A and B are shown apart, each in its own frame.
Chain A
Amino acid sequence: MNKTCHYMILAFSLVSFQHAYGQPVSALYDEIQETYRNKEYTRTVDLCQQILSRCAESVPDVECRFTDVMKSVFRLKGFAEYQIYLENRDMATLDAAIISLERSYELFGDPEIAFNFGYMESLRAIEMKDGACLDGLVHAWQGMLGLYAKNDWQVSQELVDKIRVFINQAVELTITPPETAMTNGLFTSFMVRLACDLGEKGQISKEDSLFFRIYRQRAVEDEFNLRGNEWRARGFSAEKDLNSFPDDYNYRETRRNLELAYKHAKSTQRQAEMLKELTKVALFMEKEGRNAHPEAELQYAREKAQQAYNLLVDRGSDISLSLANEVKRVYGNAIFRLVNYYFSFADSTNRLNAYARAKRIGEELLVPAGRYGKKQKFVWDGYEDLYLRLSEIGYEIGDKIFAVDMVDKAWKASLNSNGLSQGQLCRELDYEKAAELLPFARVYRQIAERFGLQPVLHWLKPIIRCIADSARAYQTTQKGA
């Protein structure tokens, strides 16, 4: 009984061995194609391995000498390994797939295969965050050029699709790793331009045409800085999401992308633009954000705006006039909002401390003007409000010189921004302007009263009367409407 059992096991083992290793290469080859078609990828790889072992024997089957068979074995092995990689995300499997396809390419030189293993190499580089590995792009391009030549130098839709994949990978690669990119991105920028040129040689759809136009523009702007341009584009896109849903995640995403765009910017104009955008985003978050941290956002906005303004001072000629105005506006706004923030603390915390902090922040924008006074470094849309707030701070802390200087500047600035002259004020004044001037005049009167400025009060009295009349009339009309 025992002997019979032993023989049975031996016979079974022999049959199994015969089944696995006894098949000729031709039969295995047919089976591989069948299993690959049936999406049995692990079995495909196993069978390919068997063929390769058989072909490595001292007397291999005749099929091992056929290039067509062997290139297909490597090709199917490579593609099956890639499918397995897509399931298990194991880098070793992706490496094996690349090696298999490379072997297939060495045997036959099929450009399609070159594109595929180039794609996989770039994919590996992106996954491993190794932006310096550019081999994949070169191999994929070699494949695409080969396909273009093979198709009688015509660009087919299939090639256009491959070009789009190539461009997407080139962009991903150029921003990998995000923080410490190893290469300067010029090569990838060039490859994108080359790919766009090739893509546009064919009859392409509107969508493809738009795709190529956008990516060429991104590759060309800011001195061919694809990396910086891509982060900028991602930053603006995240900013749109932030505007519609201002939560912490969207805010962090937007800030990170814009900061990277700033880091990789090549021109002063681009640096200033990104700093300005970062300021805007932080100010927006402070105002509209869910769970925002007002002080942190405002301090951040102030810091970025200050950097942008410093660029404007140092290298102003490299920055366009419109951007320069925007930088001034956001800087002024950031300071004004931060001053307001600390000013509002005076109700709840240490009053004097809050006012002192607010004054210190406000003074960042002030420079000496004349013998005693101070003025703002630049004129921006809303600069009169900052003067007014600073004068109120001066009033509260009892700093006469500062309060009077600021309220005087605030008054003149409000007249200036409303296009009015003091001499003919009551004659020129319309309702809307009167309403805007009234708070300035009132604060002026408050300060004059507190510090006993009789001549000012004497001069201010008729002015306030006519402003108040005009403003009252305006308010009545508004109510009536």
Chain B
Amino acid sequence: MRSKLLFVLIFLGVGSETLMSQQIDLLLEEQMVALERDVVRIYNEQQKFLRQDFRSDNELLAFESLITIYVDEILSLYDTFWRIRGTTLETQQNIAARCLIFRALTYLERTKQHKQNYTKACEDYKKALRFAQNESREPLLNTRLPHEVWVGRKLYTRLADLLDDRGKNFQMIACFQITDGLAKSGGEK
């Protein structure tokens, strides 16, 4: 009788621990999704700003710093998942990868003024591709984005199309053949 009670208690203890850990996972994942939404909002806002005549480097830098804060927060959540589970889910990998690409695109807006931004963009892009590397599924760049991205009056629903915009894909491809000269020129073709 006593051993049965002990068994039930152990079972309940293990069960509640699993439930609690699942709840924490869920909360963290919810936050990742919310933060990704904010990253896209910031990117959209920055694009809206770029469309205006009056271009200020301070504001571009502020948008860049803001998106960096969010992406760092997402990467820290991603690391937390990795530390808890020893692995990460596809959704978490995709969120981290997409946000890194958005940050890379944000960096590209200021390569003329700050040459080192191109190196940063390349680092983010390469890291994003590493996160999304999985041969068994459709490439991340071709999948549909969870949030709408507006550049001017054009709506983008895939990262591949967004990268094609204004030849950014060439700049990103150039990251893989990077030489000192390219890095200096900001990857412009």
Contacts and interface: CB of A to CB of B under 8 A. Distances in A.
A372 B34 CA distance: 71
Interface in B35-68: 38, 41-42, 45, 48-49, 52, 54, 56, 58-59, 61-63, 65-66
B8 to A, nearest CB: 31
Contacts, number: 51
Interface stretch (A54-62, A136-144, A419-427): A136-144
B72 to A, nearest CB: 9
Interface in A264-282: none
Interface in B12-35: 27, 30-31
Given A183-B56, A187-B59, A138 B27 contact: no
Contact of B59 (A134, A145, A149): A134
Given A153-B31, A186-B49, A186-B52, A137 B62 contact: yes
A194 B38 contact: yes
Contact of B56 (A141, A149, A184): A184
A319 interface: no
A186 B69 contact: no
Contacts of A141: 66, 69
A152 B56 contact: no
Contact of A186 (B27, B38, B59): B59
A429 interface: no
A145 B69 contact: yes
A86 interface: no
B73 interface: yes
Interface in A124-147: 132-135, 137-138, 141-142, 145
Contact of A152 (B27, B61, B70): B27
Main secondary structure of the interface of A (DSSP, over half): helix
B31 A134 contact: no
A189 to B, nearest CB: 9
A186 B56 CA distance: 11
B185 to A, nearest CB: 28
A132 B58 contact: yes
A186 B48 contact: yes
Given A153-B31, A186-B45, A186-B52, A138 B59 contact: no
Overall SS of chain B's interface: helix
B58 A134 contact: yes
Interface in B78-133: none
Contacts of A182: 56, 58
A36 interface: no
Contacts of B41: 194
A253 to B, nearest CB: 28
Question: By CB atoms of chain A within 10 A, which of B61, B62, B66 has the most?
Answer: B62
A380 interface: no
Contact of A184 (B31, B45, B54, B63): B54
B135 to A, nearest CB: 34
A190 interface: yes
Contacts of A187: 49, 59, 62-63
B125 to A, nearest CB: 23
Interface residues of B, number: 22
Given A184-B54, A186-B49, A187-B49, A134 B62 contact: yes
B66 A138 contact: yes
Nearest to B77: A149
Nearest to A146: B73
Contact of B73 (A132, A134, A137, A145): A145
B60 to A, nearest CB: 9
A138 B59 CA distance: 11
Given A145-B69, A190-B45, A138 B62 contact: yes
- Chain B CB count within 10 A is highest, among A141, A183, A190, for A190
Nearest to A139: B65
B51 to A, nearest CB: 10
Nearest to B56: A183
A133 B42 CA distance: 19
A153 B38 CA distance: 15
Nearest to B59: A187
A224 B52 CA distance: 12
Interface in A232-255: none
Among A153, A183, A184, A186, the one with the most B-chain Cβ atoms within 10 Å of its Cβ is A186
Interface string A425-454: 000000000000000000000000000000
Given A145-B73, A186-B49, A153 B58 contact: no
A194 B56 CA distance: 21
A183 B73 contact: no
Question: Which of B31, B52, B56 is packed against the most chain A CB atoms within 10 Å?
Answer: B56
B69 A132 contact: no
Interface string B136-148: 0000000000000
A141 B70 CA distance: 10
A195 to B, nearest CB: 12
Nearest to A197: B38
Given A145-B69, A186-B45, A190-B45, A132 B27 contact: no
Given A182-B58, A186-B45, A186-B48, A138 B65 contact: yes
Interface string A141-182: 110010001001100000000000000000000000000001
B73 A149 contact: yes
25 contacts: A133-B58, A134-B59, A134-B62, A138-B62, A138-B65, A141-B69, A145-B69, A145-B70, A145-B73, A149-B31, A149-B73, A153-B27, A182-B56, A183-B59, A184-B49, A184-B52, A184-B54, A184-B56, A186-B49, A186-B52, A186-B59, A187-B63, A191-B66, A194-B38, A224-B48
Given A132-B58, A137-B62, A187-B63, 17 more contacts: A135-B65, A138-B62, A138-B65, A138-B66, A138-B69, A141-B69, A142-B69, A145-B70, A145-B73, A149-B73, A184-B49, A184-B52, A186-B48, A187-B62, A191-B66, A194-B38, A224-B48
Interface of B: 27, 30-31, 38, 41-42, 45, 48-49, 52, 54, 56, 58-59, 61-63, 65-66, 69-70, 73
Q: Which 4 A-B pairs have the closest CB atoms?
A: A134-B62, A138-B65, A187-B59, A132-B58
